[in-house]
């Protein structure tokens, strides 16, 4: 990664962006590999969705307990800790594929994501701030987060189909992205947190609460976040199942491409959403979410890969607009002295979408059929989107 021709401040933020991306890549490497684990370990779709949901538990727990850690020990230290947990999760997946260790590996990868998300986002923003590039910082963080989540399945899917040891090589590739030769420049990146008072001060259970005066607009935003993550969770947890059972395509590469397109569309929409008002972005997202989900249902019913790709792209756009606008709304309406606990409440609602609906879909796939699960998800997301839209439209626009 040669950044010698780039200005120092920009070079530092690009390095952190790269490492942020690399950690997020590692969190989604298992996505196209679940079909392999299912065959080897005789796992039901329900078990696969629970394995996936464990990741969300790791992220949420880390955000709640260690969410302020980088404010007290520095951004660089927490980014390094995230890299260490990312490498550890890769080692767990490489050395074993037993069910228990799959749970452990996913939980550890959730910890890495929880650590890096807040610390790296703040780090990039602070490195870009002296140059007056806060909007650029937001784009870099968005691309690193969603882009990394999308690249993980793509890399793993290609390697699973074309390289030996499909449950080993993808994780080795993920760890290669974090080689010490890449990490060394991080130690020359300036720390942006001035006063640091140690680990103990940075470990505490984040308060969660929503002031009464903002509960109605918060509810709309939280519902939109939950619906967005429900679509992400269903598609990534069951991508292999959708292709193998619904479309009769067992290619791990295809599963990786489908997941990549979902996250790529979401990343592009998040960047574009910055040009729209929060209200407009929310409505656009809440309109695209159910449409994309319905198209996915049609794809499963018709066994059509092109239709599935259209559904994933439309759904991804919905996720990007809805999530970006909803988070901006929450940050904007929260009283400054309670912003942390309000944003925490929003993320809890969003990550519920990665757990309960996804596991429920796994139950339906196991006990009924994939099509039934897809229809149930479409109805669920449509109801949530309609409810959130009604609440958002009733709210008087700012100004």
pLDDT of 233-281, one tens digit each? 999 989 888 898 888 888 999 999 999 999 999 999 999 988 888 888 9
Alpha helices in the chain (DSSP H): 8-27, 34-41, 45-66, 69-73, 75-95, 99-128, 134-162, 169-176, 180-183, 199-202, 215-237, 239-241, 252-273, 278-302, 305-333, 339-352, 356-367, 370-394
Closest CA to 323 of 342, 345, 343, 350: 350
pLDDT class of 5 with cuts at 50, 70, 90? very low
pLDDT at 241: 87
pLDDT class of 132 with cuts at 50, 70, 90? low
CB 26 within 8 A of CB 109: yes
Overall pTM > 0.95: no
Is residue 133 over pLDDT 60? no
pLDDT class of 188 with cuts at 50, 70, 90? confident
pLDDT class of 369 with cuts at 50, 70, 90? very high
pLDDT at 396: 54
Is residue 4 over pLDDT 60? no
Domain chopping of the chain, boundaries? 1-188+197-204, 207-399
Q: What is the mean pLDDT of residues 42-70?
A: 92
pLDDT class of 148 with cuts at 50, 70, 90? very high
pLDDT class of 352 with cuts at 50, 70, 90? very high
CA dihedral of 8, 9, 12, 17, whole degrees rounded to 10: -140
Backbone angles phi, psi at 209, to 5 degrees: -175, 160
pLDDT at 213: 92
CB 322 within 8 A of CB 293: no
Q: How far apart are CA 152 and CA 291, in angstroms?
A: 26
Q: How far apart are CA 399 and CA 384, in angstroms?
A: 27
Q: What is the mean pLDDT of residues 96-125?
A: 93
pLDDT of 79-89, one tens digit each? 999 999 999 99
- CATH, domain range 207-399: 1.20.1250.20
Backbone angles phi, psi at 69, to 5 degrees: -60, -40
Least confident of 7-21, 34-48, 217-231, 238-252: 7-21
pLDDT class of 26 with cuts at 50, 70, 90? very high
pLDDT at 398: 46
CATH 1.20.1250.20 fits 1-188+197-204, yes or no: yes
pLDDT at 159: 98
Is residue 62 over pLDDT 90? yes
Q: How far apart are CA 305 and CA 121, in angstroms?
A: 35
């Amino acid at each position: 990664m040669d950044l010698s021709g780039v200005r120092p401040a920009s070079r530092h933020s690009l390095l952190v962006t790269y490492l942020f991306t690399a950690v997020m890549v590692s969190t989604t490497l298992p996505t196209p590999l679940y079909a392999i684990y299912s065959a080897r370990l005789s796992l039901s779709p329900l078990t696969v969705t629970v394995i996936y949901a464990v990741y969300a538990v790791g992220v949420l727990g880390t955000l709640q307990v260690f969410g302020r850690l980088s404010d007290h020990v520095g951004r660089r230290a927490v980014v390094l800790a995230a890299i260490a947990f990312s490498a550890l999760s890769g080692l767990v997946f490489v050395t074993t594929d037993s069910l228990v260790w799959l749970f452990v590996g996913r939980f550890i990868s959730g910890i890495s994501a929880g650590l890096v998300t807040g610390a790296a986002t703040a780090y990039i923003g602070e490195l870009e701030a002296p140059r007056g590039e806060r909007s650029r910082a937001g784009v870099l963080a968005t691309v690193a987060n969603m882009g990394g989540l999308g690249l993980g399945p793509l890399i793993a899917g290609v390697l699973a189909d074309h390289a030996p040891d499909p449950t080993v090589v993808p994780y080795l590739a993920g760890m290669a992205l974090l080689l010490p030769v890449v990490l060394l420049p991080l130690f020359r990146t300036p720390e942006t947190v001035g006063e640091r008072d140690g680990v103990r001060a940075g470990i505490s259970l984040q308060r969660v609460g929503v002031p009464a005066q903002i509960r109605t607009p918060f509810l709309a935003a939280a519902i939109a976040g939950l619906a967005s993550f429900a679509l992400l969770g269903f598609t990534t947890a069951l991508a292999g199942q959708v292709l193998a059972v619904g479309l009769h395509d067992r290619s791990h590469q295809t599963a990786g491409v489908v997941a990549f397109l979902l996250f790529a569309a979401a990343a592009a929409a998040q960047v574009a959403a910055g040009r729209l008002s929060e209200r407009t972005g929310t409505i656009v997202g809440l309109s695209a979410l159910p449409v994309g989900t319905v198209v996915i249902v049609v794809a499963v019913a018709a066994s059509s890969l092109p239709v599935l790709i259209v559904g994933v792209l439309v759904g991804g756009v919905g996720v990007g607009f809805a999530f970006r606008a909803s988070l901006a709304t929450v940050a904007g309406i929260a009283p400054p002295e309670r912003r942390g606990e309000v944003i925490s409440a929003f993320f809890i609602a969003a990550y519920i979408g990665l757990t309960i609906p996804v596991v429920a879909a796994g139950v339906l796939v196991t006990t009924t059929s994939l099509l039934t699960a897809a229809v149930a998800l479409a109805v669920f997301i449509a109801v949530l989107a309609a409810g959130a839209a009604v609440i958002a439209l009733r709210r008087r626009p700012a100004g």
